[in-house]
Amino acid sequence: MKGPAKLVLVVIDGLTPTMLEASLGTSSTPALTALAERATLGRATSTFPSLTPVCLSSIATGAHPDVHEIPHLVWWHRGEGRLVEYGSSFGAARAAGLGRALRDTLVGMNAEHLGARAVTVFEALADAGLRTAAVNFTAYRGRTLHRPSVPFLGPVRGPEQFFFYNLFRAERTGAPLSFRNRARGSVDAYAAAVGRWLVTRDGFDFLLFYLSDYDYASHAEGPDTAAAVLLRCDEAVGGLVEAAGGLDGFLERYAVIVMSDHGQTAVRNVARAAEPFRHEPDTLVAASNRAAHVYRTGAGAPDARRLAERLDGEPSAEVVLFREGDVAVARRDGAELALRATAAGVELDGDAGVLDQPDAVARALAVLRCPNAGDVVVSAAAGWEFADLGGKHHLGGGSHGSLEEGDSVVPVLTVGLDGASPGSVVDVAPRVLAHFGVEAPPYALRRAA
Ligand SMILES: [Zn+2]
């Protein structure tokens, strides 16, 4: 039997597999439970740093940061000699320059920072003559020019049907203002209204429907506690289903993927990632949540190994990555693992226990090959978070960004899709393209093992 022709990809930011699996069959997730009864439910590994701009870029392009070049929520732009900040917090955005941070987040990430070698699902599908749509998804680069509804942003290229926090909209939908009350769920309420509008009109072949409020709540309340927000996410998904006349009609028309971009773990301690480097010349630290990049910004800076060794005995730093010639080095508690890429694969030399986290070898190699990553990249230890540029953190709540399993593993629910459940977030875009008979771009590094 031929499956449904179109596809809806739902991304619920920060939803952990444990939270989804525990809530299926309960009153918090009636729509997701009904979908799950017809679905394959699996788990996939995210990319590193496991932070939203990096993860959504990986979902959109099917590539790690070596190709899509988005290294973190905050990073040093070597070409422009300045920090890029995608909104770790309001304080961090203000510290980086509010106008600049807004522009980087809403326009610059897609128009300038997202790697030229990367191809987004929106670009690949549009090139194949298919109609693409996205709601609030921040890695949106596509082929259709859209003018903003506010004067200061300038036009961007997105999917054909592009709806982005009232700032860009392909058509008038009557959806409410997204930022009127974020804590009460107005961002996802906007997404839900636009999603229903799109499904009612059957106005796309591929829809990427992004819900961000669950992550926002989990940062405040801690992982696996935001059941009320998950219920709102479920209602938003239920709204799409109803707009197609119920589950049978919905699944006749669409294959469905529901997934998350990263997990969350509890924050019990906060560190200033720049502190161990305060006496080092020409050294800059870009830190946020549970990952940090250390950059050599001038000739006076110590070499990468010396910078990495500064973090020996630092309780907040678990895995410290750097490059030494053509070898990638991972350091943890004084033990080391060297990774050397060869034509046959990746050769490991040293203590393999240094990188025992999910898909860690591929993720470590990928971030070290990212042209915008630091000379040293730090994955935080369990329970630790790095304060951002504005000094903000989520002590007592939740965070993510590290290689650790809790930050890195996401649920994936698939209905009407051929083949096994995706094992990595970078497997999703190729699966979407395969669904439409479109060939995926040939990136070298997806998974090392
Ligand atoms: Zn987050």
Any idea of the CA torsion for 429, 162, 165, 396, to the nearest 10 degrees? Answer: 0
Q: Please name the helix (run of DSSP H) or strand (run of DSSP E) that holds residue 405, with its range, or none.
A: helix 405-408
Any idea of the CA torsion for 336, 340, 341, 343, to the nearest 10 degrees? Answer: -140
Buried/exposed code over 98-108 (b: 16+ C-beta within 10 A; e: otherwise): eeebbbbbbbb
Residue 1 has what pLDDT? 43
- CB distance 207 to 195 below 8 Å: yes
Give the Cα-Cα-Cα angle 305, 311, 312 (nearest 5 degrees).
90
128-164: pLDDT as tens digits: 999 999 999 999 999 999 998 888 788 999 999 999 9
183-204: pLDDT as tens digits: 778 889 999 999 999 999 999 9
Ligand 1 center to 66 CA (angstroms): 22
> What distance in Å separates the CA atoms of residue 63 and residue 61, rounded to the nearest whole number?
5
DSSP, res 327: E
CA-closest candidate to residue 224, choices 384, 17, 13: 17
- CB distance 298 to 284 below 8 Å: no
Q: Identify any residues that bridge with 102 across adjacent strands, giving them in sequence order.
A: none
Residue 152 has what pLDDT? 79
Ligand 1 center to 210 CA (angstroms): 14
- CB distance 403 to 364 below 8 Å: yes
Q: pLDDT 10s per residue in the chain (449 long)?
A: 467 899 999 999 999 999 999 999 999 899 999 999 999 999 999 999 999 999 999 999 999 999 999 999 999 999 999 999 998 999 999 999 999 999 999 999 999 999 999 999 999 999 999 999 999 999 999 999 999 888 878 899 999 999 998 888 877 888 887 766 777 788 899 999 999 999 999 999 999 999 999 999 999 999 999 999 999 999 999 999 999 999 999 999 999 999 999 999 999 999 999 999 999 999 999 999 999 999 999 999 999 999 999 999 999 999 999 999 999 999 999 999 999 988 888 999 999 999 999 999 999 999 999 999 999 999 999 999 999 999 999 999 999 999 999 999 999 999 999 888 999 999 999 999 999 999 998 876 555 44
Residue 185 has what pLDDT? 81
Ligand 1 center to 304 CA (angstroms): 28
Residue 231 has what pLDDT? 96
Q: Maximum Cα–Cα distance for the chain, whole Å?
A: 67
Ligand 1 center to 71 CA (angstroms): 15
For the full predicted model, state whether its pTM sits above 0.85: yes
- CB distance 67 to 61 below 8 Å: yes
Ligand 1 center to 246 CA (angstroms): 32
Residue 2 has what pLDDT? 62
Ligand 1 center to 55 CA (angstroms): 11
Residue 178 has what pLDDT? 75
Residue 444 has what pLDDT? 60
Ligand 1 center to 201 CA (angstroms): 32
Ligand 1 center to 73 CA (angstroms): 10
Residue 117's CB: how many other CB atoms inside 10 A?
Answer: 13
Ligand 1 center to 409 CA (angstroms): 14
Ligand 1 center to 48 CA (angstroms): 13
Ligand 1 center to 219 CA (angstroms): 6
Residue 390's CB: how many other CB atoms inside 10 A?
Answer: 17
